[in-house]
Amino acid sequence: MSQGPSSLQKGFTLWFTGLPCSGKSAVADLVAKILKEKHLYVERLDGDIVRRDLTRDLGFSKEDRDENIRRITFVAKLLSRNGVAVLTSFVSPYREARDRARREIENFYEVYVKCPVEVCMERDVKGMYKKALNGEIKDFTGVDDPYEEPENPEIVLDTDAETLEESAQKVVDKLLELGYL
């Protein structure tokens, strides 16, 4: 009989941020799988899924992006303070909004998924960068809207130079160092 998640688990939030198509969701999904195998309570909050359900009323203006992150911060704060490992993956392009999330969420760790925009464009299976470059999408991060790089992230993943597994292992190693595993 397999052991379930520990009721003594200390919650935390890993906040994956980076350009569209940098690998945020892929790495967060693999880390979530690893943590579940280690019998942790894990919740994934992913940009595409959250926008479809929790924040479908919001667009992509700066105000709407800030409101999106405010709502996600609230959910992550509730989950992590109740012993859940929360892994978010949002572009969250504005430093101020990420800093607000850091102030509100106990045990918050910023994971900068660093990848050159040219590589992100090559990975873009949905064609969003192309649409943005053609003017079909306005305020697209990395094209006509800025991405403010984190100043002091706890973890930096260079997803253009690392394999998915190497990036996930860097995150797991940091969680070991911090005493969560």
pLDDT of residue 7: 56
The mean of the pLDDT values for the chain is 90
pLDDT of residue 1: 36
* Number of neighbours of residue 126 by Cβ within 10 angstroms: 11
Cβ partners under 8 Å of residue 119, min gap 6: 159, 160
Residues 116, 44: Cα–Cα separation, whole Å:
25
Which alpha helices (DSSP H) does 22-163 contain, by range? 24-37, 47-53, 62-81, 95-104, 117-123, 128-133
Q: Are 75 and 69 spatial neighbours (Cβ–Cβ below 8 Å)?
A: no
CATH T-level topology, domain 12-178: Rossmann fold (3.40.50)
Q: Which residues are catalytic?
A: 92
Q: pLDDT for 79-117, tens place per residue?
A: 999 999 999 999 999 999 999 999 999 999 999 999 999
Tell me: pLDDT of 160 over 50.
yes
pLDDT of residue 31: 98
